[in-house]
């Protein structure tokens, strides 16, 4: 449902007649489809292209109707954003600055009720990135612990993003963001090794002693960690248990649960359940259980196959 705030702003620009939006500007009267099925894109684009000055002045007049000021959000003492979410933003900014140009778009500013430049947003997020790094230096000072690395590929640019976090020993489930970087092309073990050594050296400069590095089973990651372990005898090479678990379950699913995969995919395509995440070891198991609990008609063979698959996966899931 459209908020009263947004509706008031629309009424200033358009005359809504049934499922049509008619421009209120003199000598224009352009008409566009309007409503839930058609959205507001075309009417707003019309104003952006034909009446940009009117749109800008209208925004300035309604700027007080705002849901949230981004700069205030980042600077507010009452900001209760969870640490993990702050770390996620920091990783994004540190490794691949986001295209904030849409903040400068007058239509976006009008539609969402804020007026703030892309530069301001970028500066605030980069500042957050730096503050989190500084917080980590304080918390990790004079402690021992492990580093953990993970990587993912940007599906658009094909760049490889690498993130490093530190976990002090004797501090249960508490991790701190260290740094992130982007690597072009295929992940290179030598480049990754030098990047990790730089992080180990910097951490050591303010008193953090690295006793191990955790990485997944990717060949480049393990090669880089192995070389570091050979050079620094006090640093252990540790394979990620979660990634190993995921590989085990993936093998079970692809080889022993092929029929169950087809059943789950069928109901995903029908929109009855959401798609599972292949990189999360318990995701497919959860979808199998969810599907059995739905009030839908499963054939006897389908039900038996899902039950068999659940029995195969459950012992591994319970190890966690």
Structure-token pair, residue 223: 């090669």
Q: Is the pLDDT of residue 256 over 60?
A: yes
Task: Specify the pLDDT at position 84.
Answer: 52
**316/148: higher pLDDT:** 148
Query: Would you say the pTM of this structure is higher than 0.85?
Result: no
CB-CB contact of 32 with 21 (8 Å):
yes
Of 203, 312, 186, 192, give the one whose Cα is nearest residue 258: 312
How does pLDDT run across 60-116, given as a tens digit for each residue? 555 443 334 444 554 554 455 555 555 555 545 444 444 555 566 666 566 556 666
Separation of alpha carbons 24 and 50, rounded Å:
12
What is the average pLDDT score of the chain? 76
CB-CB contact of 279 with 287 (8 Å):
no
Of 52, 13, 50, give the one whose Cα is nearest residue 34: 13
Task: Specify the pLDDT at position 67.
Answer: 38
Separation of alpha carbons 44 and 115, rounded Å:
17
Of 33, 51, 40, 57, give the one whose Cα is nearest residue 6: 40
Domain 141-239 class in CATH: alpha beta
| Secondary structure E strands in 63-175 | 144-153, 160-168
Task: Specify the pLDDT at position 88.
Answer: 53
Distances (CA, A) of 236 to 146, 213, 229, 243: 9, 6, 6, 18
How does pLDDT run across 3-22, given as a tens digit for each residue? 333 444 566 777 877 777 88
Place of tokens 């590989």: 247
Task: Specify the pLDDT at position 66.
Answer: 39
Q: What share of the chain is helix, strand, coil (3-state, %, to 5)?
A: 55, 15, 30
Task: Specify the pLDDT at position 113.
Answer: 62
Domain ranges of the chain: 4-62, 70-131, 141-239, 248-318
């Amino acid at each position: 449902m459209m908020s009263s705030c947004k509706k008031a702003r629309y009424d200033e620009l358009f005359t809504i007649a049934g499922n049509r939006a008619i421009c209120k500007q003199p000598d224009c009267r352009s008409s566009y489809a309007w409503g839930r099925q058609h959205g507001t894109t075309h009417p707003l684009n019309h104003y952006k292209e034909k009446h940009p000055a009117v749109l800008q002045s209208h925004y300035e007049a309604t700027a007080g109707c705002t849901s949230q000021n981004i700069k205030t959000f980042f600077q507010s003492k009452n900001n209760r954003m969870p640490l993990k979410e702050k770390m996620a933003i920091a990783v994004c900014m540190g490794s691949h600055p986001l295209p904030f140009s849409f903040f400068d778009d007058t239509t976006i500013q009008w539609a969402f009720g804020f007026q703030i430049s892309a530069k301001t947003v970028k500066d605030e997020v980069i500042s957050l990135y730096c503050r989190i790094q500084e917080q980590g230096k304080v918390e990790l000072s004079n402690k021992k612990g492990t580093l953990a690395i993970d990587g993912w590929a940007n599906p658009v640019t094909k760049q490889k993003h690498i993130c490093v976090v530190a976990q002090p020993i004797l501090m249960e489930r508490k991790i701190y963001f260290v740094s992130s970087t982007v690597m072009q092309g295929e992940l290179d073990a030598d480049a990754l090794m030098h990047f990790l050594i730089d992080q180990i050296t910097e951490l050591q400069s303010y008193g953090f002693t690295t006793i191990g590095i955790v990485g997944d089973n990717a060949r480049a990651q393990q090669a880089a960690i192995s070389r570091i372990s050979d050079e620094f005898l006090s640093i252990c090479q540790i394979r990620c248990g979660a990634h190993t678990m995921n590989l085990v379950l993936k093998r079970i699913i692809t080889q022993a649960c092929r029929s169950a995969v087809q059943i789950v995919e069928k109901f995903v395509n029908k929109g009855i359940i959401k798609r599972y995440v292949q990189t999360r070891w318990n995701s497919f198991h959860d979808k199998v259980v969810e599907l059995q609990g739905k009030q839908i008609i499963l054939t006897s063979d389908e039900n038996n196959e899902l039950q068999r698959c659940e029995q195969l996966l459950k012992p591994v899931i319970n190890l966690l």
